[in-house]
């Protein structure tokens, strides 16, 4: 018998899979972790924190924005990125406490 806690609709499972695919890269996970301590970050700030090139960071930000993980707001010449739903950061707690990794 399935518990009510594990019952998830197919539609929700598909959305979860899309989000997990969108964040399934070490650079993207690093960016998400940075967003935990900040309201919004622009590409230059992420470049400074990671030491990575602008084109690479932009590529990863766009992938996560397209899947609904991040949102963006233009501020003059900069685009500030932030989390659509900060609860996604709970994944880090799950990963930290996971015994099979």
Is there a contact between 90 and 83 (Cβ–Cβ < 8 Å)?
A: no
User: How many residues are given for the chain?
Assistant: 101
Is the predicted pLDDT of residue 82 greater than 80, yes or no? yes
* Residue 81, φ and ψ in degrees, nearest 5: -110, 140
The vertex-36 CA angle with 35 and 39, nearest 5°, equals 60
Is there a contact between 43 and 78 (Cβ–Cβ < 8 Å)?
A: yes
Is the predicted pLDDT of residue 101 greater than 90, yes or no? no
Per-residue pLDDT tens for 34-68?
A: 998 778 999 999 999 999 999 999 999 999 999 99
Instruction: Please give the domain boundaries of the chain with CATH numbers for all domains.
Output: 10-96 (1.10.10.10)
| Tokens found for residue 55 | 């084109």
pTM, rounded to two decimals:
0.84
Is the predicted pLDDT of residue 1 greater than 60, yes or no? no
Is there a contact between 42 and 48 (Cβ–Cβ < 8 Å)?
A: no
């Amino acid at each position: 018998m399935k518990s009510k806690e594990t019952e998830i609709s197919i539609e929700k499972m598909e959305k979860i899979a899309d989000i997990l695919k969108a964040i399934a890269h070490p650079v993207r996970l690093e960016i998400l972790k940075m967003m935990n301590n900040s309201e919004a970050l622009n590409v230059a700030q992420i470049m400074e924190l990671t030491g990575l090139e602008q084109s690479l960071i932009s590529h990863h930000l766009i992938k996560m924005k397209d899947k609904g993980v991040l949102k963006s707001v233009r501020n003059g010449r900069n685009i500030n990125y932030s989390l659509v739903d900060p609860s996604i950061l709970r994944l880090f707690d799950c990963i930290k406490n996971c015994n099979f990794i």
